[in-house]
Amino acid sequence: MTPTGAEVGTYIAGYPSSWLAALDRAPWALTAGAADLIGAHLARLGPDYRVNDGVAVHRRAVVEAGATVKAPAIIGPECRVAAGAYLRGGCWLETGCTVGPGSELKSTYLFAGATAAHFNFVGDSLLGAGVNLEAGAINANHRNEAPETRIVLTLAGRSIETGARKFGALVGDGVRVGANVVIAPGATLLPGTVVPRLGLVDQSA
């Protein structure tokens, strides 16, 4: 069963009013199709975005020299992508997001104020507003150690079979993730969750 926008909205308050909700796709379908979906959305951006070879950067965003941003990508106002950051596979940064040195995003959507500031990997995930990942925190997107394990998402008390080979996590607004935490494929974190350093957050089914 596909989750509703309202269910995803219990994790990310800005989701129901976003362009993503209008697509009416499950989170794992949004990440799997990120390159095509973000590429198509480029045509709907306003004049405050500079678009060059499939990468759109808002005039009030900063992409430092030495960052690698592969198309398609949309980097919103007040965002900062630092030297040494790597964005690929279709990435969308809403407003005031930070991707710091040594951090990699793959097929990921960041809502307002989300931060992956120091040596993070975030794969095939949705990060809510104000999420903060401390140094070395990882959002894994593939169960390499157990590839036969199903990726199951638990939303509103029900388990949903994603059928996805790769999917990271649905991380709610205001979540704080400590240094060197691993968030396993299929995890969901409720808004305001604090994950202590060196922890593991796994899917719950």
Residues 41, 58, 118, 142: which is the catalytic one? 118
Cis amide leading into 47 (omega within 30):
no
CA 105 to CA 93: how far, in whole Å? 10
Active site residue 41: no
Residues 122 and 104 sit within 8 Å (Cβ to Cβ): yes
Tokens at 198, concatenated = 């060196």
* Strands across the sheet containing 115-116: 62-63, 80-81, 98-99, 115-116, 132-133, 176-177, 194-195
Backbone phi and psi for residue 181, each to the nearest 5 degrees, phi listed first = -75, 145
Q: Is beta strand 182-183 parallel, antiparallel or unpaired with respect to 158-161?
A: unpaired
Which letter, b or e, does each residue of 62-75 get, where b requires 16 or more Cβ atoms within 10 Å of its Cβ? ebeeebebbbbbbb
Residues 45 and 138 sit within 8 Å (Cβ to Cβ): no
So which residues are the catalytic ones?
118
